Amino acid sequence: MELILCVAVGILFSVGVYLILSKSLLKIILGTSLLTHGVHLLVMTMAGLKRGASPILGDNSGSYVDPLPQALILTSIVISFGITAFFFVLAYRTNQTTGTEVTDDREGGEAANE
């Protein structure tokens, strides 16, 4: 089971990296979302996928799944959600101000051109 998820994480990472390397800002943001999806899945996989009850004490089960990575993922999800929201608004504002959403068109380091 871990092996399958590792492959899935690998695919998410590669697609994410491919999208980040593209020219359009929107694709870059989608790439970062895929990357964070991949890493959240990775945290879950890395903690082990042994069978057990969901980590709620009322279930009276003999074994539970590891609750720690779930808390880590939850934290990481809200953080990346906040950052993604900020990134979208930033991209929108950039698009309005510069009139383009293609990263190549931005002239790099205008202070350096002396």
Partner 1 sequence: MNNLLVFPVLLPLVTAVILFFFKEKIKLQRILSLISSLLSVLTALVLTGRIHSEGILTLNLGGWQAPYGIVFVGDMFSALLVLAASVVGLAVLIYSFGSIGGERERYHYYSFFLFLLVGVNGSFLTGDIFNLFVFFEVMLMSSYALLSLGGTKLQLRETVKYLLINIVSSTLFVAAVAYLYASVGTLNMAHLSMRVAELGQGGVLNVIAILFLIVFGLKAGLFLFFWLPGSYSAPPSAVRALFGALLTKVGVYSIIRIFTLIFYHDPGTTRPWLMFMAAATMILGGLGAVAYKDIPRILNYNVIVSVGFVTFGLVAATGDAINGAVFYLLHDIVAKGLLFILGGLIISASGTDRLKDMGGLIQRYPLLGWMFFILALALVGIPPLSGFPGKLLLIRGGLEEGMIGLSLIGVGSSLLVLYSLIKIFRIGFWGDPQEKQIQKSGALPRAGMAGAAGLLLIVILAGICSEYVYSFVSQAGEVLANPELYIEAVMKE
Residues making contact with partner 1 (CB under 8 A): 20, 25, 28, 32, 35-36, 38-40, 42-43, 46-48, 68-69, 72, 75-76, 79-80, 82-83, 86-87, 90-91, 93-94, 97-98, 103, 106, 108-112, 114
As beta bridge partners, residue 53 has: 64
CB of 5 to partner 1, least distance (A): 12
For 24, the 3-state DSSP assignment is strand
CB of 66 to partner 1, least distance (A): 9
Q: Residue for token digits 């202070």?
A: 111
Nearer to partner 1 by Cβ, of 53 and 72: the residue is 72
Would the CA dihedral through 95, 100, 104, 109 be positive or negative? negative
Q: Residue for token digits 């900020």?
A: 86
